Structure 1
C-alpha cells in the first residue's frame, strides 16, 4: 500500500477528547489492512485538508471522514468507517438505512456530553511507534 494519504480514507477527530482518542484506538485495532489515516482536528494538516473541501470551520464535536473525494460527518462518518473494519463491528453499518435526522441527534447528544462523561486531555494523543506512520500530523 502506498503511504500517500490521498489513497487512504482520513479520519479527523478531536485530539484532546478521550472518547475520540478511544475511538481512534478502536479503529486501529480493527483496521488490519492499515487502510485509515488519522489527524486531529486541531492540526494544520486537518485545516489544510478541510479547506480543500471548503469546510473551513469544522465543529470539534464531529468525527470527519475524508474518503474518495467526499467528506462525511457525524453518524454517517462513523458508519462508513465501521463498514471498512474487520469483525462483527461491520454489522453496525446496516444502520445507514436509518435516516440521518434520526441518527445524528443521538450522535450530537453524545458529542455534547463527551467531555463531561469521558473528560479531555490537556494535549493531543501521541501515537505509538507502531502506529505513527498512520498519523498525518
Structure 2
C-alpha cells in the first residue's frame, strides 16, 4: 500500500449529514488543531480514497491517516476520538473484537443517508474550519 505524505487527515463523505457533523464534532474538540479534513467529493479526497481502496462514488467508510498508517471503519473513529483531549478512555473500546465493531460501524454507514439525511452538495464549513479543509 502506498504511503500517504500527509498525516492526521480525516477523509469523510461531504454530502452525508452525519459525517459532516462528525467533522464538526472533532474540530470543536481538537483544540490543538491536529486534524485536517477532506471530503471524498474533493479532488484530493477522491485521490486519497482511491489510494486506500475506497470507491469515491460509493464510500462505505471514513478513514484517517495517523502516524503514517491508514485506519478505516471503527478503527478510524476510535483512533480519532482517542487522540482528542479528554477522550483517551475510548482506547478501551479497541478491546472489543474488530469484526463486532466494524459490523456496527457498517450498519450505520450503510443506512446513514436514510437515518440522518444527505446534503445536495458538500457542506460548507465556517471560516475557522475551512482553514483545516484540504480540497
Tell me by how many angstroms 1:50 deviates. Answer: 3.8
- Consecutive unaligned residues of structure 2, counting only runs of 5 or more, are none
TM-score (structure 2 length as normaliser): 0.87
Count, aligned residues: 130
**Is residue 54–residue 60 contact of structure 2 (8 Å, CA) maintained in 1?**
no
CA offset at residue 45 of structure 1? 0.3
Deviation digits for residues 43-98 of structure 1 (CA, Å, limit 9, x no counterpart): 110123345x45363551311111222111000000100111012x3322211111
TM-score under structure 1 length normalisation: 0.86
1:32 Cα deviation (Å)?
0.2
Q: CA RMSD in A?
A: 1.7
Moved over 6 A (4+): none
**Counterpart in 2 of 1:68?**
67
Partner of 2:94: 96
Mark the runs of 5 or more structure 1 residues left unpaired by the alignment. none
Alignment CA distance shift 1:100-1:117 (3 Å): same
